[in-house]
Structure 1
């Protein structure tokens, strides 16, 4: 029983790490926020943010993961249009 709880904790921690990495990646790639600013926002170092971006980029070779991240990017772009977007000028 104790082993099951430890495994659940480990799985939960891993899932939260993946979610945070995706959030950092989208913040940098889509929103063009600097690595330093993202690090401050997430309570991490800029090198950790850089690593997270590389991890997500490498995982995009998987079609399902790429589709998932692409969907998140579309939502973020819809909510936060790029600066200078003619539709909002």
Structure 2
């Protein structure tokens, strides 16, 4: 039962991250991190990431820049 609830939560978060309208700051930060990881860890181009997230490539570039800046904080970098 807990796995089903977690699965529904993950699906809901994924839907929020793909939503085209602005959402809460925590969702925006999660989306930025997901974009960054898709670009850096998976090796997708920023254009490919933008298409997958239904965003403009400049939005992905901005997200990557924000995450790179936050990685200067050791605790955040350790989490990434």
Q: Please, what TM-score do these two structures have when normalized by structure 1?
A: 0.63
Runs of 4+ in 1 over 3 A off after TM superposition: none
Pairing partner for 2:71 from 52, 60, 69: 60
Q: Give CA deviations for 1:34-66 in whole Å, capped at 9, x if unaligned.
A: 111100110100000001000000000111110
Number of equivalences: 58
Pairing partner for 1:30 from 9, 33, 41: 41
Unaligned 5+ segments in structure 2 are 1-22
Once residues 35 and 50 of structure 1 are traced to their aligned partners in structure 2, the CA distance between those partners, rounded to angstroms, is 7
Cα RMSD (Å) of the superposition?
1.0
Equivalences for residues 10-29 of structure 1 within 5 A: 13-29=24-40
Q: Please, what TM-score do these two structures have when normalized by structure 2?
A: 0.70
**Which of 1 and 2 has higher RCO (CA within 8 Å, sep 6+)?**
1
